[in-house]
Amino acid sequence: MIMDGSAIYGSDANKNAQVRTFKDGKLKIAGNGLLQHGEDGSRSPEMFGTVGPEFLHCRLSSSKNTTVCDAIKHENPFFSDEELYRHARLVTAAVIAKIHTIDWTVELLKTDTLYVGMHANWYGLLGKKFKDAFGHLGSSILSGFVGMKKPENHGVPYSLTEDFTSVYRMHPLLPDTLHLRDTHAKPGKDKSPPMKQEVPMIDLIGLKGEKTLTDIGFTGQLVSMGHQASGALEIWNYPAWLRDIIAQNPDGSERPDHVDMPALEIYRDRERKVPRYNQFRRSMLMVPISKWEDLTDDVEVIKTLHEVYGNNIEKLDLLVGLMAEKKIKGFAISETAFFIFVLMASRRLEADRFFTSNFNEETYTKKGLEWVNTTES
């Protein structure tokens, strides 16, 4: 979804058609502001199996699509439905990418240096005010990757690597329950509305989750999630409810076999030949560990690593290493994951023509480009 909004729009023509009105480029939005549901309560075909935060993300983005359509149509009254839809989707996807660059990643890497670095990816070291006033100077260092004259893919067609997928396995960020807040009550001393109910996260996924979240409402979701801290990306902090989860088919029907998500993630990395932890570090010219104590100071973790892997450090699975690794102060992710983040955060912008050679009014429309450029936190 970060790249193209496919969780909202669908990943192929058939799924795309299910969420479109085919009028003025807009999506099927119900009276409550959410994407329209079917008779069985189902929504976007891409969303089965996702959880509350992603549902909320889609709600924000789908409503944004409608607003963007209206703005572009006002400026271009003769645009067809297809033209409005394609331009609105392009603008919405670009806004998602921008938020991910200058907001989301910055929250994972809470240091002044990384704040400057991620904003430099978008605006360059000269900053937003200079770029807004004088445009792109031709240097990605001074003016950022966005707006370069042509994409730079370093000889590899634009894509996301399996390595990036692996370090993006961040399920420990999810809590076991959603602390549902009473949005009609006055905030307490901590400025948070009182909690009225704990909703198990398992009740917020799939078809059942669609219905539960619709009952909670957009405001309730936004306020509740905004006042609840995420989990830490640490070993032994994987959500218990993901150890025995019922997978669903695209039509929302349940599959017979339950899934142990952390075990599945380890299996996927091994099957896809993603390097184990030490080799992963070597591949990025990082110093590999030579003993378990190089990875962590936690005695219990070291003892468990010995039980699972013995003294064969080279067998350490990537995901286990990422969760066990000592964190840099201010970092929610490990240093190893950070290296991939830095590489891919740049690549997803500099290798994409829609952020480089086609980041212009001709492609986005005047209003669309203005929308992307003025969207800030």
Catalytic residue, from 9, 85, 123, 168: name it: 168
Within 10 angstroms of residue 56's Cβ, the number of other Cβ atoms is: 18
Phi, psi of 27 (to 5 degrees): -95, 165
Within 10 angstroms of residue 297's Cβ, the number of other Cβ atoms is: 8
The Cα 56–Cα 213 span in angstroms is 9
The Cα 101–Cα 352 span in angstroms is 14
Structure tokens at 306: 């010995």
Residue with tokens 């949005």: 183
**CA-wise closest residue to 375 among 170, 138, 93:** 93
The string of DSSP letters for 37-99 reads: P-TTS---TT-TT--HHHHHHHHHHHHHHHHHHHHHHHH-TT--HHHHHHHHHHHHHHHHHHH
CB 189 within 8 A of CB 228: no
The Cα 243–Cα 55 span in angstroms is 21
171 a known binding residue? yes
Residue 117 burial by Cβ neighbours in a 10 Å radius (0-12, 13-18, 19+): middle
Question: Is 267 among the catalytic positions?
Answer: no
Which residue positions form the known binding site? 171
Which residue positions form the known binding site for heme b? 171
Show which residues are catalytic.
168
